[in-house]
Amino acid sequence: MVTKTEGVLFVSFLTQPLYHKWGTTSEIHATTHSMRNVVRLLSSPLTAFLILLLLVNATSLFGFATFVKHPSLLARWPWTQDIFAVSYPLFSRLQMALAGLAMITPLMSTHRFRWVPAFIAVYALSFAMEFGGTSWGIPFGKYEYTGLLGPKIAGKVPYLIPLSWFTMALPSFWMASPPSSPLVEMSRFNWKRVLLGSGFLSCWDLTLDPAMSFLAPFWVWQEPGTYYGMPWRNLIGWIFTGFLLMIALELFRAHHWKEKLPKNFDFTLYGASLFLPLGMCMLSGLWGTLLFTASVFAGLVYATRTTSAALAKPDKPKFNSLHT
């Protein structure tokens, strides 16, 4: 009969080569813990929505590069016409819906329903701005949504559009307040975060509008401008609308929500949403809009980090001189 001591010695003898190869017990446990975290992350609903979002974007880019850029292929292969007619509007709506789910899912798991009032405020504000633009040209200029983005509120603004504003407003707001920065911990109203967040949100449109109104007919400008058909007034409207949305998020203290979310989630979702319009502009050779977007984005990142570094520096002690 094998005693307990002999069994322990036997197991130690068998596992000794593993320790020699992989390291100490603590190192093996740390590796196992990291692997479990990776598996847990890959199996999370958030990762599933992000992967689906990227797949939808990649499929949309394939369809754009194949059939939109070469419409003669539709005539050559008639069986693709019905598929294209359905998938073209469907995938654009899926992209917006999946991006919204990728945002809402982690908020629900970490903050329950505390984000809902901010969502309602952003949805209402963005709808008001969009309704003003489609009705009277205020503040973006006069334009009209086509039927590609689905049913519209009051026959003017697709239901998915205010959701898209929320989906991109939050990452823009969070990118303006990095987690390592004192900006996140400050309890007072922070105007720098509002201004930088509005800048990040408006930077998105530098690529979005040329892709979705110049290269594709998702909305049509009634007052065409010089920036790939977009009037510069639209950019002013974006900055103004972003400013209002950032004020709302600041009032709801939305910067604290970032602390419990996965690291770099804001940049990940921002990039995943930018992937489609960025790819469309690249495939079409709109290098001017890509360079403009990259330059503005780099400047905003630099300004954010510079502001954070300045706030992180301790105040110099002040000495009062003594006069006799």
The string of pLDDT tens digits covering residues 51-67 is 999 999 999 999 999 99
pLDDT the model gives residue 188: 73
Considering 70-74, 134-138, 222-226, 302-306, the range whose residues carry the highest mean pLDDT is 134-138
Q: Which of 71-85, 109-123, 181-195 has the lowest mean pLDDT?
A: 181-195
**pLDDT > 50? residue 184:** no
**pLDDT > 60? residue 259:** yes
Query: Is 31 domain-assigned?
Result: no
Return d(Cα 297, Cα 192) in angstroms, integer: 16
pLDDT: which is higher, 150 or 8: 150
Q: Where are the beta strands (DSSP E) in the chain?
A: 143-145, 152-153, 157-158, 219-221
**pLDDT > 50? residue 278:** yes
Return d(Cα 166, Cα 161) in angstroms, integer: 9
pLDDT the model gives residue 17: 45
**pLDDT > 90? residue 4:** no
**pLDDT > 90? residue 282:** yes
Tokens of 318: 């002040």
**pLDDT > 70? residue 242:** yes
Number of domains in the chain: 1
pLDDT the model gives residue 13: 41
Q: With bands split at pLDDT 50, 70 and 90, how would you rate the model's confidence at 240?
A: very high
pLDDT the model gives residue 25: 57
Cα–Cα nearest to 54, from 268, 265, 216, 217: 268
Q: How far is CA 235 from CA 114, 143, 206, 240, in A?
A: 31, 13, 8, 9
pLDDT the model gives residue 59: 94
* Residues whose CB falls within 8 Å of the CB of residue 60, separated by 6 or more in sequence, listed in order: 91, 92, 95, 276
Query: Is 324 domain-assigned?
Result: no
pLDDT the model gives residue 308: 64
- Mean predicted lDDT score pLDDT of the chain: 84
For β-strands 219-221 and 157-158, DSSP reports them as unpaired
Instruction: Give mean pLDDT, residues 16-33.
Output: 50
Q: How far is CA 122 from CA 108, 116, 198, in A?
A: 17, 10, 13
Token pair 């880019």 is found at 61
pLDDT the model gives residue 324: 40
Q: Which of 237-241, 285-289, 313-317 has the lowest mean pLDDT?
A: 313-317
Instruction: Give mean pLDDT, residues 87-110.
Output: 92
pLDDT: which is higher, 10 or 235: 235
**pLDDT > 60? residue 205:** yes
pLDDT: which is higher, 157 or 224: 157
Tokens of 53: 């979002």
Angle at alpha carbon of residue 100, lines to 281 and 50, rounded to 5°: 70
Q: With bands split at pLDDT 50, 70 and 90, how would you rate the model's confidence at 15?
A: very low
**pLDDT > 50? residue 18:** no
Query: Is 103 domain-assigned?
Result: yes
Return d(Cα 96, Cα 107) in angstroms, integer: 17
pTM exceeds cut of 0.95: no
pLDDT the model gives residue 120: 97
Token pair 């360079």 is found at 291
Return d(Cα 82, Cα 286) in angstroms, integer: 29
Local structure of residue 211 (DSSP, 8 states): I
Instruction: Give mean pLDDT, residues 71-85.
Output: 91
Residue 286 burial (CB count, 10 A): 21
Query: Is 322 domain-assigned?
Result: no
Q: Let me know: does 289 contact 230? Beta carbons within 8 Å.
A: no
Instruction: Give mean pLDDT, residues 186-194.
Output: 78
Query: Is 28 domain-assigned?
Result: no
Query: Is 315 domain-assigned?
Result: no
Please give the residue range of the domain that contains residue 81: 45-310
Phi, psi at residue 227, to the nearest 5°?
Answer: -95, 85
Query: Is 37 domain-assigned?
Result: no
For residue 227, the cross-strand partners are 230
Q: Let me know: does 100 contact 108? Beta carbons within 8 Å.
A: no
Query: Is 318 domain-assigned?
Result: no
Question: How much of the chain exceeds pLDDT 70, in percent?
Answer: 78
